[in-house]
Amino acid sequence: MDIRIYSTNKNLKKTAGGFKSKFPKIILADPKDLKKDVKSTEMPSIFYLDVSAFEKNLQKAVKTIQANDLIYYGILDPKDSADDPALYFFSGAVDYIGKKALATAFKKQRFKALVQFLEEYREDYEAADIEIAEKSKKYIVSPNGWKDIKTGTESTFTIIFIEMDDKKEIEQKYGKKNLKVALAVFRNFIERQIYPFEGKIWYWNGYGGIILFPYKGKEIDAVLCAFRLYLFKFIHDIRESHFPNFISFRTVMHLGNLEYVERNTGNVIADSINSIFHIGYKHAKSNSLYLTQEVGELTPPPLKPFIKPSGAFEGRDIFKMMTPVI
Protein backbone atom coordinates (compact mmCIF):
# COMPACT_ATOMS: atom_id res chain seq x y z
CA MET A 1 0.00 0.00 0.00
CA ASP A 2 1.27 3.46 -0.95
CA ILE A 3 0.62 6.58 1.10
CA ARG A 4 0.49 9.90 -0.75
CA ILE A 5 0.13 13.26 0.98
CA TYR A 6 -1.13 16.08 -1.22
CA SER A 7 0.05 19.32 0.30
CA THR A 8 1.78 22.57 -0.64
CA ASN A 9 3.44 22.83 2.77
CA LYS A 10 7.18 22.42 2.11
CA ASN A 11 7.88 21.96 5.82
CA LEU A 12 5.39 19.15 6.20
CA LYS A 13 7.97 16.37 6.02
CA LYS A 14 9.85 17.85 8.98
CA THR A 15 6.63 18.53 10.87
CA ALA A 16 5.46 14.93 10.41
CA GLY A 17 8.59 13.47 11.95
CA GLY A 18 10.53 12.77 8.79
CA PHE A 19 8.12 10.18 7.32
CA LYS A 20 10.00 7.31 8.98
CA SER A 21 7.96 4.49 7.45
CA LYS A 22 9.64 3.05 4.33
CA PHE A 23 7.11 0.29 3.80
CA PRO A 24 4.49 1.40 3.14
CA LYS A 25 6.18 4.12 1.16
CA ILE A 26 5.11 7.68 2.00
CA ILE A 27 5.24 10.25 -0.78
CA LEU A 28 4.74 14.00 -0.47
CA ALA A 29 2.87 14.88 -3.68
CA ASP A 30 1.82 18.02 -5.53
CA PRO A 31 -1.96 18.66 -5.39
CA LYS A 32 -1.80 19.48 -9.11
CA ASP A 33 -0.88 15.83 -9.79
CA LEU A 34 -3.91 14.38 -7.99
CA LYS A 35 -6.00 13.67 -11.10
CA LYS A 36 -3.08 12.08 -12.93
CA ASP A 37 -2.13 9.93 -9.92
CA VAL A 38 -5.70 8.71 -9.45
CA LYS A 39 -5.79 7.48 -13.05
CA SER A 40 -2.43 5.69 -12.82
CA THR A 41 -2.92 4.00 -9.41
CA GLU A 42 -3.35 0.22 -9.69
CA MET A 43 -2.82 -0.89 -6.09
CA PRO A 44 -4.58 -0.12 -2.77
CA SER A 45 -3.46 3.33 -1.66
CA ILE A 46 -4.37 6.06 0.79
CA PHE A 47 -4.30 9.65 -0.44
CA TYR A 48 -4.21 12.28 2.30
CA LEU A 49 -5.62 15.69 1.34
CA ASP A 50 -4.28 18.73 3.15
CA VAL A 51 -7.38 20.89 3.63
CA SER A 52 -5.30 24.06 3.50
CA ALA A 53 -4.02 23.13 0.03
CA PHE A 54 -7.43 22.42 -1.48
CA GLU A 55 -9.67 24.86 0.41
CA LYS A 56 -12.90 25.28 -1.66
CA ASN A 57 -11.84 22.47 -4.05
CA LEU A 58 -11.73 19.80 -1.36
CA GLN A 59 -15.03 18.16 -2.34
CA LYS A 60 -13.95 18.11 -5.99
CA ALA A 61 -10.71 16.39 -4.97
CA VAL A 62 -12.65 13.80 -2.97
CA LYS A 63 -14.87 13.04 -5.99
CA THR A 64 -11.74 12.63 -8.13
CA ILE A 65 -10.33 10.06 -5.69
CA GLN A 66 -13.62 8.18 -5.41
CA ALA A 67 -13.51 7.48 -9.16
CA ASN A 68 -10.83 4.85 -8.39
CA ASP A 69 -12.07 2.06 -6.10
CA LEU A 70 -8.50 1.20 -5.07
CA ILE A 71 -7.90 4.54 -3.38
CA TYR A 72 -9.03 5.52 0.11
CA TYR A 73 -8.66 9.06 1.34
CA GLY A 74 -7.71 10.66 4.59
CA ILE A 75 -7.80 14.26 5.75
CA LEU A 76 -4.76 16.20 6.91
CA ASP A 77 -5.73 19.23 8.97
CA PRO A 78 -2.55 20.80 10.40
CA LYS A 79 -4.44 23.91 11.52
CA ASP A 80 -7.37 22.09 13.18
CA SER A 81 -9.74 24.01 10.93
CA ALA A 82 -12.57 21.46 11.02
CA ASP A 83 -15.41 22.19 13.44
CA ASP A 84 -16.68 18.61 13.17
CA PRO A 85 -14.07 16.11 11.79
CA ALA A 86 -16.66 13.32 11.83
CA LEU A 87 -18.30 14.87 8.76
CA TYR A 88 -15.29 13.77 6.72
CA PHE A 89 -15.91 10.15 7.72
CA PHE A 90 -19.56 10.47 6.71
CA SER A 91 -18.29 11.40 3.24
CA GLY A 92 -16.03 8.34 3.00
CA ALA A 93 -12.76 9.34 4.67
CA VAL A 94 -10.85 6.60 6.50
CA ASP A 95 -8.53 8.78 8.56
CA TYR A 96 -8.22 12.26 10.02
CA ILE A 97 -4.94 13.76 11.24
CA GLY A 98 -5.10 17.03 13.13
CA LYS A 99 -2.40 19.36 14.40
CA LYS A 100 -1.54 17.44 17.57
CA ALA A 101 -1.43 14.01 15.90
CA LEU A 102 0.66 15.18 12.95
CA ALA A 103 4.02 14.91 14.73
CA THR A 104 3.70 11.15 15.24
CA ALA A 105 1.04 10.06 12.74
CA PHE A 106 3.06 8.82 9.79
CA LYS A 107 4.45 5.59 11.16
CA LYS A 108 3.97 1.95 10.27
CA GLN A 109 1.89 1.22 13.39
CA ARG A 110 -0.81 3.66 12.32
CA PHE A 111 -1.14 2.19 8.84
CA LYS A 112 -1.16 -1.36 10.16
CA ALA A 113 -4.10 -0.44 12.40
CA LEU A 114 -5.76 1.34 9.48
CA VAL A 115 -5.55 -1.74 7.26
CA GLN A 116 -7.07 -3.84 10.06
CA PHE A 117 -9.89 -1.31 10.29
CA LEU A 118 -10.52 -1.50 6.53
CA GLU A 119 -10.54 -5.29 6.59
CA GLU A 120 -13.08 -5.39 9.41
CA TYR A 121 -15.40 -2.51 8.65
CA ARG A 122 -15.13 -1.67 4.96
CA GLU A 123 -16.75 -4.17 2.62
CA ASP A 124 -15.15 -2.49 -0.40
CA TYR A 125 -11.67 -3.34 0.90
CA GLU A 126 -12.14 -7.03 0.01
CA ALA A 127 -13.45 -5.93 -3.39
CA ALA A 128 -10.26 -3.95 -3.89
CA ASP A 129 -8.20 -7.06 -3.12
CA ILE A 130 -10.20 -8.98 -5.72
CA GLU A 131 -9.56 -6.26 -8.28
CA ILE A 132 -5.85 -6.42 -7.53
CA ALA A 133 -5.94 -10.18 -8.06
CA GLU A 134 -7.62 -9.61 -11.42
CA LYS A 135 -4.97 -7.10 -12.40
CA SER A 136 -2.24 -9.55 -11.40
CA LYS A 137 -3.52 -11.87 -14.10
CA LYS A 138 -1.82 -9.60 -16.60
CA TYR A 139 1.37 -11.34 -15.47
CA ILE A 140 1.91 -14.59 -17.36
CA VAL A 141 3.67 -16.80 -14.84
CA SER A 142 6.30 -19.42 -15.79
CA PRO A 143 6.59 -21.74 -12.74
CA ASN A 144 9.15 -23.96 -14.51
CA GLY A 145 11.32 -21.13 -15.74
CA TRP A 146 12.61 -21.30 -19.30
CA LYS A 147 10.85 -24.63 -19.89
CA ASP A 148 7.57 -22.67 -19.99
CA ILE A 149 8.82 -19.99 -22.39
CA LYS A 150 7.86 -20.48 -26.03
CA THR A 151 9.10 -18.45 -28.98
CA GLY A 152 6.45 -16.14 -30.38
CA THR A 153 4.37 -16.27 -27.17
CA GLU A 154 3.92 -13.44 -24.67
CA SER A 155 5.35 -14.11 -21.21
CA THR A 156 6.22 -12.10 -18.12
CA PHE A 157 9.89 -11.48 -17.36
CA THR A 158 12.00 -9.68 -14.84
CA ILE A 159 13.95 -7.49 -17.22
CA ILE A 160 17.36 -6.01 -16.53
CA PHE A 161 18.80 -3.16 -18.56
CA ILE A 162 22.54 -2.85 -18.01
CA GLU A 163 25.10 -0.66 -19.74
CA MET A 164 28.61 0.55 -19.02
CA ASP A 165 28.92 4.24 -18.29
CA ASP A 166 30.79 6.61 -20.61
CA LYS A 167 30.98 4.11 -23.48
CA LYS A 168 31.65 6.83 -26.09
CA GLU A 169 34.56 8.18 -24.08
CA ILE A 170 35.95 4.65 -23.62
CA GLU A 171 35.86 4.01 -27.37
CA GLN A 172 37.55 7.30 -28.14
CA LYS A 173 40.26 6.68 -25.56
CA TYR A 174 41.15 3.06 -26.36
CA GLY A 175 39.78 2.43 -29.85
CA LYS A 176 37.01 -0.02 -30.71
CA LYS A 177 39.36 -2.78 -31.92
CA ASN A 178 41.41 -2.68 -28.73
CA LEU A 179 38.32 -3.18 -26.56
CA LYS A 180 37.20 -6.58 -27.87
CA VAL A 181 38.90 -8.68 -25.20
CA ALA A 182 38.04 -6.31 -22.34
CA LEU A 183 34.37 -6.20 -23.37
CA ALA A 184 34.25 -10.00 -23.76
CA VAL A 185 35.60 -10.40 -20.22
CA PHE A 186 32.95 -7.95 -18.97
CA ARG A 187 30.18 -9.96 -20.66
CA ASN A 188 31.56 -13.18 -19.20
CA PHE A 189 31.39 -11.63 -15.73
CA ILE A 190 27.72 -10.74 -16.29
CA GLU A 191 26.86 -14.22 -17.60
CA ARG A 192 28.44 -15.93 -14.58
CA GLN A 193 26.45 -13.79 -12.17
CA ILE A 194 23.05 -14.26 -13.83
CA TYR A 195 23.36 -18.01 -14.54
CA PRO A 196 22.40 -19.24 -11.01
CA PHE A 197 19.23 -17.13 -11.23
CA GLU A 198 18.17 -18.48 -14.65
CA GLY A 199 19.05 -15.22 -16.33
CA LYS A 200 19.74 -15.05 -20.05
CA ILE A 201 21.32 -12.28 -22.08
CA TRP A 202 18.68 -11.51 -24.69
CA TYR A 203 20.27 -8.54 -26.42
CA TRP A 204 23.86 -7.28 -26.26
CA ASN A 205 25.50 -4.27 -27.90
CA GLY A 206 29.04 -4.82 -26.60
CA TYR A 207 28.73 -2.49 -23.62
CA GLY A 208 25.54 -3.91 -22.17
CA GLY A 209 22.05 -4.96 -23.12
CA ILE A 210 18.91 -6.68 -21.90
CA ILE A 211 18.79 -9.69 -19.55
CA LEU A 212 15.64 -11.76 -19.02
CA PHE A 213 14.52 -13.86 -16.04
CA PRO A 214 11.22 -15.81 -16.35
CA TYR A 215 8.73 -14.63 -13.74
CA LYS A 216 7.64 -17.52 -11.50
CA GLY A 217 4.83 -15.71 -9.75
CA LYS A 218 6.43 -14.85 -6.42
CA GLU A 219 9.16 -12.67 -4.94
CA ILE A 220 11.75 -11.67 -7.51
CA ASP A 221 14.98 -13.44 -6.61
CA ALA A 222 16.69 -11.71 -9.51
CA VAL A 223 16.93 -8.61 -7.29
CA LEU A 224 19.62 -10.46 -5.34
CA CYS A 225 21.35 -11.19 -8.65
CA ALA A 226 21.43 -7.47 -9.45
CA PHE A 227 22.80 -6.69 -5.97
CA ARG A 228 25.54 -9.26 -6.53
CA LEU A 229 26.54 -7.61 -9.80
CA TYR A 230 27.47 -4.49 -7.87
CA LEU A 231 28.97 -6.16 -4.83
CA PHE A 232 31.15 -8.55 -6.88
CA LYS A 233 32.09 -5.89 -9.43
CA PHE A 234 34.92 -4.75 -7.19
CA ILE A 235 36.44 -8.23 -7.14
CA HIS A 236 36.04 -8.40 -10.91
CA ASP A 237 37.78 -5.05 -11.31
CA ILE A 238 40.79 -6.25 -9.32
CA ARG A 239 41.14 -9.86 -10.49
CA GLU A 240 39.69 -10.16 -13.99
CA SER A 241 38.92 -6.88 -15.72
CA HIS A 242 41.09 -5.92 -18.68
CA PHE A 243 40.21 -2.26 -18.29
CA PRO A 244 42.98 -0.19 -16.70
CA ASN A 245 40.47 1.60 -14.47
CA PHE A 246 37.54 0.39 -12.39
CA ILE A 247 34.47 0.05 -14.59
CA SER A 248 31.04 1.41 -13.74
CA PHE A 249 27.62 0.61 -15.12
CA ARG A 250 24.01 1.57 -14.54
CA THR A 251 21.26 -1.00 -14.16
CA VAL A 252 17.46 -0.89 -14.21
CA MET A 253 15.09 -3.71 -13.24
CA HIS A 254 11.48 -3.95 -14.39
CA LEU A 255 8.71 -6.57 -14.41
CA GLY A 256 6.68 -6.72 -17.60
CA ASN A 257 5.37 -8.69 -20.53
CA LEU A 258 6.90 -9.19 -23.94
CA GLU A 259 6.69 -11.60 -26.83
CA TYR A 260 9.77 -13.77 -26.61
CA VAL A 261 11.90 -14.44 -29.68
CA GLU A 262 15.05 -16.55 -29.64
CA ARG A 263 17.23 -14.01 -31.39
CA ASN A 264 16.64 -10.39 -30.51
CA THR A 265 18.41 -8.08 -32.93
CA GLY A 266 17.23 -4.99 -31.09
CA ASN A 267 14.02 -4.56 -33.09
CA VAL A 268 11.55 -6.07 -30.60
CA ILE A 269 8.79 -3.61 -29.72
CA ALA A 270 7.18 -3.86 -26.27
CA ASP A 271 6.00 -1.33 -23.69
CA SER A 272 8.13 -3.02 -21.02
CA ILE A 273 11.28 -2.68 -23.15
CA ASN A 274 10.52 0.94 -24.03
CA SER A 275 9.97 1.75 -20.35
CA ILE A 276 13.21 0.21 -19.15
CA PHE A 277 15.27 1.94 -21.87
CA HIS A 278 13.70 5.29 -21.04
CA ILE A 279 14.56 4.88 -17.36
CA GLY A 280 18.07 3.65 -18.21
CA TYR A 281 18.89 6.60 -20.46
CA LYS A 282 16.83 9.42 -18.97
CA HIS A 283 16.61 8.74 -15.21
CA ALA A 284 19.37 6.34 -14.10
CA LYS A 285 22.65 7.79 -12.82
CA SER A 286 26.04 6.19 -13.32
CA ASN A 287 27.12 3.18 -11.25
CA SER A 288 23.65 2.72 -9.74
CA LEU A 289 20.89 0.11 -9.61
CA TYR A 290 17.25 1.15 -10.02
CA LEU A 291 14.05 -0.85 -9.56
CA THR A 292 10.62 0.05 -10.89
CA GLN A 293 7.63 0.01 -8.57
CA GLU A 294 6.62 -3.41 -9.92
CA VAL A 295 9.95 -4.92 -8.86
CA GLY A 296 10.15 -2.95 -5.62
CA GLU A 297 6.86 -4.42 -4.43
CA LEU A 298 8.11 -7.98 -5.07
CA THR A 299 11.63 -7.52 -3.71
CA PRO A 300 12.50 -10.24 -1.13
CA PRO A 301 11.95 -8.83 2.41
CA PRO A 302 15.62 -9.18 3.51
CA LEU A 303 16.64 -6.83 0.67
CA LYS A 304 13.94 -4.18 1.11
CA PRO A 305 15.88 -2.21 3.76
CA PHE A 306 18.59 -1.66 1.15
CA ILE A 307 16.44 0.11 -1.43
CA LYS A 308 15.12 3.64 -1.13
CA PRO A 309 12.69 5.79 -3.14
CA SER A 310 14.24 7.60 -6.10
CA GLY A 311 11.37 9.76 -7.22
CA ALA A 312 8.97 9.02 -10.05
CA PHE A 313 9.52 8.73 -13.79
CA GLU A 314 6.83 8.65 -16.47
CA GLY A 315 4.13 8.03 -13.85
CA ARG A 316 5.96 5.14 -12.18
CA ASP A 317 7.63 5.16 -8.75
CA ILE A 318 11.32 4.24 -8.87
CA PHE A 319 13.54 2.73 -6.17
CA LYS A 320 17.34 2.78 -5.94
CA MET A 321 19.79 0.39 -4.32
CA MET A 322 21.61 2.02 -1.44
CA THR A 323 25.28 2.35 -2.36
CA PRO A 324 27.49 0.04 -0.27
CA VAL A 325 30.40 1.60 1.59
CA ILE A 326 33.54 -0.25 0.53
Predicted confidence (pLDDT) at residue 129 exceeds the cutoff of 50? no
| Per-range mean pLDDT, top range of 11-20, 89-98, 233-242 | 89-98
Q: What is the pLDDT of residue 126?
A: 52
Predicted confidence (pLDDT) at residue 315 exceeds the cutoff of 60? yes
**Least confident window among 171-180, 218-227, 313-322:** 171-180
Q: What is the pLDDT of residue 217?
A: 86
Predicted confidence (pLDDT) at residue 64 exceeds the cutoff of 90? yes
Q: pTM for the whole thing?
A: 0.58
Q: How far is CA 187 from CA 13, 94, 248, in A?
A: 44, 52, 13
Give the full edge-to-edge strand order of the sheet including 45-50.
Answer: 26-29, 2-6, 45-50, 71-77, 95-98
β-pair partners for 48: 5, 74
Predicted confidence (pLDDT) at residue 313 exceeds the cutoff of 70? yes
Residue of 132, 194, 133 lying closest to 2 (CA atoms): 132
Q: What is the pLDDT of residue 265?
A: 56
Distance of CA 209 to the CA centre of its chain: 20
**Cα–Cα distance, 158 to 216 (Å, whole number):** 10
Predicted confidence (pLDDT) at residue 146 exceeds the cutoff of 90? yes
Q: What domains can you pick out in the chain, each with its CATH number?
A: 2-136 (3.40.50.2300), 145-321 (3.30.70.1230)
Residue 171, burial from CB neighbour count under 10 angstroms (0-12, 13-18, 19+): middle
Q: Please state, rounded to an integer, the average pLDDT across all residues of the chain.
A: 84
Residue of 23, 107, 18 lying closest to 317 (CA atoms): 23
Q: How many CB atoms lie within 10 A of CB 309?
A: 16
**Type of residue numbered 74:** G
pLDDT, tens digit (0-9, with 9 covering 90-100), for 174-185: 777 788 888 899
Predicted confidence (pLDDT) at residue 324 exceeds the cutoff of 80? no
> Comparing 22 with 154, which gets the higher pLDDT?
154
pLDDT, tens digit (0-9, with 9 covering 90-100), for 81-125: 988 999 999 888 999 999 888 888 877 778 778 877 877 776 665
Residue 42, burial from CB neighbour count under 10 angstroms (0-12, 13-18, 19+): middle
pLDDT, tens digit (0-9, with 9 covering 90-100), for 38-60: 887 766 788 999 999 997 889 99
Instruction: For residue 3, name the pLDDT band (cuts at 50, 70, 90).
Output: confident
